[in-house]
Structure 1
Amino acid sequence: LSWGKGLGCNFVMNSCKEWIQANNGRGRSIHPFCSKVKQDPLQTECTDDRNSVALCNLIRHDYELPKKYQNFDSINHVKSGEEGYYGGSVSLADHCPYIQEFTWRSKNVIVRGSHCRFVENNPKPEKNFALESYGIGSKCFDHSDFMWEERSCHQTREWQHWGSGCYKYECSDGRLHILVANYTYTCFYPGQTLSIRINANDWLHRGAIICPPCHELCGEVFAERGEECRMREEAPPANKYPRDTLTCAACASAAFCRILLFVAIIAAFSWRRTHVFIG
């Protein structure tokens, strides 16, 4: 059981409110508890072991919770004085909000799960906006605070849920490397934002992935090889990472654009001569 593993006596003996307040005050993660209200648009997280995309089960109840189950003095984007209506959806957990795996549903039919290990949880290609890859060897990585975007030559669309996703990764040369589509992105320090711009399935996918600490995923792997994670290092400039561009048929190359411009000038000149002659 990984729940609470290694979190110490304070986690076991104190209330979830005390745990949340203490860790917030120290600038630490409050996991396995959470404070993101479950609402549209959905914003997912990762479980502590990074085995699954997860949701915080913090919801607004129709009634004010008993005082002993009110775990927040303030909640982001919640009006002051209404915190008492918010708590975890599971009463057996004293309404402590925590992150948990979930299933994607369509018309009350289960479409897929959120555990990274199972290949059947891969989104359909036309709905894989964040270019996720589920299967053996995949782990959950956090996205940035901005929605992922898809662009074509005629349309731009944003997906109404984001926050985390499952991706393959490698541990080599003392670094964590995250694999997205056919590209490899190297992490140089925890918290580094990897900007993603990849053409796939006739769309330019734009988003970002946040690098976790190297030791979380590669510590044991490197230890078995007699290696270790390298020290924090300044990342290369953004142009050193893969950055696809959107090329539309109307102007597929600079040479083609010049030809189009030349034809347009000739057409305009011919029209002008004809117009003057008729006049």
Structure 2
Amino acid sequence: MHTRLNCLTIVIPLISACSHLSLDPGNASYGLVEDVRSKRSSTWDWIRIELIYDKSVNELTTLRQTTLKRLISQARDYFEDTIKVERVRKLQLWPECAGQMWKKDNKGEVTIVCEKYCRPSCGTATAPMGTAIFTPCSCHHGNCPSDFDDYIGTITHTDFVLFVAIRHGICAKNTLAYAARCSLHPITHRPISGYVNVCPDAFDAMQKNEMSRWLSTIKHELIHAFVFSTSHYRNFIGAKPEVQKTPIPIVPGVIEKFTRTDWEVAQGNIPHDVYMIVTPKVRQEARNHFACPTLEGAEVENQGGSGTRGAHWEKRVFENEAMSGVATQVYAVSRLTLALFEDSGWYQVNYDKAEDMSWGKGLGCDFAKKSCLTWMRSRQDPYPFCTQEFDMRCSEDRKSKVSCNLVSPKFARIPIDYNYNIPSLYTDDNGGRIVALGQEEVADYCPYYRVFGEVAKEATDTRCTYAGNMYYNNYSLEIFSRSARCFSLDGGIKVSKKLKKTTYNHKVGCYETVCKEDRLYVKMQSSKFYPCYYAGQFIHVEKRIPKLGKVTTRIICPPCKDICGEKCAPDKKHNEKIGDYRKISTSLAIFFSFIVLLMFFL
């Protein structure tokens, strides 16, 4: 059986695109269904997903097995609360075959005939003995090596069967998981079964701080099986039959090609092709998101492997959407992806379950339609893109410290379409000019600010909200917790020990916050909370840290609404020095002055 596989890859600090089989989407298997349908209307209701685990899952340790099943269940629960389908009364899946497959249809009674033997499988996952959900199956020469009778039957109260396996399969070095659909509804062509294969090496290496990443990965893979795959587009309700077989298949009415004539690169303006989902709801959501009324649709990925191209949102313009080709920081299943579900014609969606995608929001047509060079060159602050190597700042929601992923390799072969090296654009951390590029191919080599993970035993990253990043008596005095947020620092961090003074060029730090009395309050390690009366106010820090010495810095208060929302008191100028520093009273200062004078005359 031919399928198209889709996968999500992530690697820190280097990221690569998916690499896997890409087969003809026209060769699909069709399950047998009995619809719940009256003569006048169909029955739409929340999708019911049945989970079937391959025996490879049972080979995991008890802890890992529990973790995987919890992740799968959480992902299932999300979709069962988010998408509706035309429900079916019962369904029956085609088995897979070793060798060729034939179908016999005797007055609606379907039997599958396999060249060698019948497999009760979907992709890499095989159903346990007694899972009676498959059509009858026989072998071409009449002698099957094993009895298939225990697998013959139908399943009720289910609209989609999800098979789960954890096998090496086609797992590349940096692949977390991959997925595909298996059987389709014989009339609507909606997927009614599929599988997700978790890559064992990646799952075994999972750290505590990666749970949200893995949940997003599972959801990402299920979306491929449900709807977001080039093998599905021709079956969308608005698809026109003139499918063009190109590296990214063009399906008029669903995915189309457009040429940008003003794509700015180092050599000037050149023509550049982009591919876009142009279905009605997707187009409107893209226009609303960017505030660009002339946008033709939502751009899809044009780079990476065959399972990445055309089956993910373009990372340059949808960086933190869950369906971008690589996962780097936020993984939002946004209104855009839910709109794709609706435009297929197979689903109704609950937009209240959409997650916020801040990337590019309201930035207009220049951001959505033009190269990132146009954006970086024409603005003093190129955010969310960046031009200085290693530069750090706070993320837009202040929940993370983010770093510029600009790199300057010794030997860089940069494609013409993505070479943005105009004079003096890119600099190193000392301000020197460099020839560089963004770290990720699928982001069109545009450099941007992102959360970074540290390859360390502690499994830390740059999220302020992850308590596992916490370490005490560090010179930055940072706090990592669910209520911690990112703040800019004035003048870096100074550490003095005896006669030695060192300044660390830290631009940002994570500190505890609380919103009370209509004001923002901030604290660092071993201190009380201090109020922020106005944006730009300093919280002065001066502390002695064992074995380190005296640490001094100044935390810059952001606008209160950045963290506390709209319920903030008006800014109030405050002349008193606020913070955690050594205070000496006037009387004590006079006493010390007297002692100094006395010692001088003695």
Normalised by the length of structure 2, the TM-score is 0.35
Query: Given the alignment of the two structures, is residue 33 of structure 1 paired with residue 377 of structure 2, yes or no?
Result: no
Q: Secondary structure at the match of 1:104?
A: coil
Give the drift of 1:55. 1.0
Cα pair distance change 1:259/1:143, threshold 3 Å: closer
Please say which of residues 52-61 and 148-157 is displaced more in the overlay: 148-157
Amino acid across the alignment from 2:533: F
Match of 1:97 among 436, 444, 447: 447
Q: Does the 8 Å contact 2:519/2:569 carry over to 1?
A: yes
Identify which of structures 1 and 2 has the higher relative contact order when contacts are C-alpha pairs closer than 8 Å and 6+ apart: 1
| Percent sequence identity over aligned pairs | 24
Between the aligned partners of 2:416 and 2:540, the Cα distance in structure 1 is: 44
Q: Secondary structure at the match of 2:554?
A: strand
Match of 2:374 among 14, 18, 21: 18
Query: Given the alignment of the two structures, is residue 86 of structure 1 paired with residue 474 of structure 2, yes or no?
Result: no
Residue deviations 1:86-119, cap 9 Å, x none? 221112211111111112346xx55522111221
Q: Does the 8 Å contact 2:475/2:545 carry over to 1?
A: no
Q: Does the 8 Å contact 1:197/1:245 carry over to 2?
A: no
Between the aligned partners of 2:513 and 2:405, the Cα distance in structure 1 is: 28
Q: Does the 8 Å contact 1:56/1:100 carry over to 2?
A: yes
Gap regions ≥5 residues in structure 1: 223-228, 247-252, 266-279
Amino acid across the alignment from 2:436: Y
Structure 2 match to 1:116: 464
Give the drift of 1:237. 3.6
Matches of residues 1-279 of structure 1 in structure 2 within 5 Å? 1=332, 2-4=357-359, 6-10=361-365, 11-24=367-380, 29-38=381-390, 43-62=391-410, 63=412, 65-71=414-420, 73=422, 74-75=424-425, 76=427, 77-79=431-433, 82=434, 85-105=435-455, 109=457, 112-125=460-473, 128-144=474-490, 146-153=491-498, 155-159=500-504, 162-181=506-525, 182-201=527-546, 203-219=549-565, 222=567, 229-238=568-577, 240-244=578-582, 254=592, 261=599, 265=602
Amino acid across the alignment from 2:536: G
Larger Rg: 2
Amino acid across the alignment from 2:387: S
Residue deviations 1:14-65, cap 9 Å, x none? 32222223442xxxx4322122212xxxx42222221111210012133363
Between the aligned partners of 2:557 and 2:382, the Cα distance in structure 1 is: 19
Residue deviations 1:118-152, cap 9 Å, x none? 21201342xx11110001211111222x2311223
Give the drift of 1:258. 6.1
Amino acid across the alignment from 1:70: N
Gap regions ≥5 residues in structure 2: 1-331, 333-356, 585-590
Q: Does the 8 Å contact 1:31/1:48 carry over to 2?
A: no
Between the aligned partners of 2:552 and 2:409, the Cα distance in structure 1 is: 36
Q: Does the 8 Å contact 1:141/1:210 carry over to 2?
A: yes
Between the aligned partners of 2:382 and 2:528, the Cα distance in structure 1 is: 33
Amino acid across the alignment from 1:149: K
Give the drift of 1:217. 0.8
Normalised by the length of structure 1, the TM-score is 0.70
Q: Secondary structure at the match of 1:112?
A: coil
Give the drift of 1:180. 1.9
Between the aligned partners of 1:140 and 1:233, the Cα distance in structure 2 is: 22
Please say which of residues 61-70 and 253-262 is displaced more in the overlay: 253-262
